[in-house]
Amino acid sequence: MKITFINPPFLDKYSRSSRSPAVTKSGTIYFPLWLSYAAGVAEEAGFEVNITDAPAECINTDQTIEKIKKYAPQLVVCDTSTPSIHSDIEFCKALKSSLPNVFVCLVGTHASIFDEDILSKYEFIDAVARHEYDYTVRELAEYINSAKELDEVKGITFRKNTEIIKNPDRPYIENLDELPFVSKVYHDHLDIKNYFYAHVAFPTISIFSSRGCPSKCFFCIYSQVMFGKRFRRRSAQNLFNEILYIEKTFPEVKEILIDDDNFTVDQQNVKQFCELMIQHKSRLKWIVQSRVNLKFDTMKLMKAAGCKLLVAGFESGNQQILDNMHKGITLAQSVEFDSNAKKAGLRVHGCFMAGNPGETKETLMQTLEFAKKLHLDTVQFFPLMLYPGTEAYDWAEQNNYITTKDFSEWLTDEGLHNCVFATENLTSQELVNFCDYARKKFYLRPKYMAYKALQSVTSKDDFLRTLKSMNTFRKYLFRKEK
């Protein structure tokens, strides 16, 4: 049996698998991580699989359907996102018209929340595999292949004759070491040069070390929709083994992005991983996401093991705003984290948000001033992005803050993030204007530009990465406010 995993056409370079799907100002385009993990699981189970990533390949609906027709799968697994959902549905309609006997299953954040609504409206969609779907898709394929009824496949919502059936949720995967290396899936099915991350040397490989999150951030779609609140991690040995595989298989790769939020939650496991990297004397540098409670001794070991940069969610320069979004950190922790990272020789990419509960023009400016005081290599400022299934979306909806119910308006005409809410204190445009203003004030400081120039002179990789990113980013950096 053949299965096609499809990141469907929408906008070129659209990152559907990002936490906040969009075309990015920096040119970043994510690997189709979750499709790739699920494809690897299905392949290990004996199914023939392929992956088509239409936004990365810059191919349209007709070209994508032609590729699928040539492969002739029995099952198509189609990713979804909130901003692209209307397009995703239209693609499935066109696909079913061309291949009426193919079984079409949607996956992803948006479909997981609106599963019953989608199936009740669109007869050309056969099922939705909800939430963490790696094993769900594998079992669905087994049932389809053996012509068995789907009533016992946990984690799916499906149509049985005219009735919509919602089976019980599938338990989350306990042992993540069981999953295949996603980098092997990339090697077999994707061109890694189609993917770019502005803070990582090109070309790169993006992998995950954990799923589930013990934190309570009210905006996060990963923990609230896809992977749950309970932290699960890969063992240090398993993660190191994948690094060895990447090192051997992708000689052109210089840096690896470990892209999950919680790599540093279990710091003992991190230290074990670092010891393995140090003993092996790996040539690869690596970049990770981190919370600001990371300890200095762990940072030093990470640096010695090849870690280059930490991506941290500082979010706000106002403690009350942090508390309101249930971030679970303090400003003092952020300052200490920043200082320790500098002492350890690690760069930091800082993430900041605008528009969380209680936000005012004054708190926004506090955030900007806080960002400027830190020793950050790069930053991002974004309005709060609202996605169905999160506390943030419910908060905005209950307070009548959402300015549109048309999900296509979650993006601008260019495919960039759009701000779709306004509060009593701040309009949508004011939030967007602040983020544009904050980026300019941060990046156009003489001190920062001198730092970046020196960095580019001393490192060819940094020069090429910065040049590629700035080539895309400059038109937004210098654009006038509305």
CATH, range 197-477: 3.20.20.70
For residue 1, what are the CA distances in angstroms to 4, 74, 141, 270?
A: 10, 7, 8, 40
More confident residue, 479 or 118: 118
Model pLDDT for residues 421-475, shown as the tens digit of each residue: 999 999 999 999 999 999 999 999 888 888 777 776 666 566 555 555 555 555 5
Question: Exposed, middle or buried by CB within 10 Å (0-12, 13-18, 19+), for 474?
Answer: exposed
Q: What is the mean pLDDT of residues 383-403?
A: 96
* Confidence band of 326 (pLDDT split at 50, 70, 90): very high
Q: Where in the chain is the domain with CATH 3.40.50.280?
A: 2-166
User: In this structure, which long-range contacts are made by residues 462-471, counting pairs with CB atoms below 8 Å and at least 24 apart in sequence?
Assistant: 462/201, 464/201, 464/202, 465/198, 465/199, 465/200, 465/201, 465/202, 468/27, 468/196, 468/198, 468/202, 469/26, 469/27, 469/198, 471/27
Cα separation, 435 vs 156, in Å, equals 39
* Confidence band of 261 (pLDDT split at 50, 70, 90): confident
DSSP for 358-381 reads: T--HHHHHHHHHHHHHS--SEEEE
Whole-structure pTM value: 0.92
Model pLDDT for residues 192-221, shown as the tens digit of each residue: 999 999 889 999 999 999 999 988 899 999
**Are 420 and 404 within 8 A, CB to CB?**
yes
Q: If residue 398 lies in a helix (H) or strand (E), which one and from where to where?
A: helix 391-398
Which range is least confidently modeled, 6-10, 210-214, 340-344?
A: 210-214
CATH fit for domain 2-166, picks 1.20.5.510, 2.60.120.10, 3.40.50.300, 3.40.50.280: 3.40.50.280
Model pLDDT for residues 44-65, shown as the tens digit of each residue: 999 999 999 999 999 999 999 9
For the chain, the average pLDDT equals 93
* Confidence band of 27 (pLDDT split at 50, 70, 90): confident
- Take residue 396 and report the two structure tokens written for it: 């905005």
Q: If residue 464 lies in a helix (H) or strand (E), which one and from where to where?
A: helix 460-477
Q: Where in the chain is the domain with CATH 3.20.20.70?
A: 197-477
With 70 as the cut, is the pLDDT of residue 339 above it? yes
- Take residue 468 and report the two structure tokens written for it: 């590629």
Confidence at residue 225, expressed as pLDDT on a 0 to 100 scale: 94
Confidence at residue 459, expressed as pLDDT on a 0 to 100 scale: 64
Model pLDDT for residues 64-88, shown as the tens digit of each residue: 999 999 999 999 999 999 999 999 9
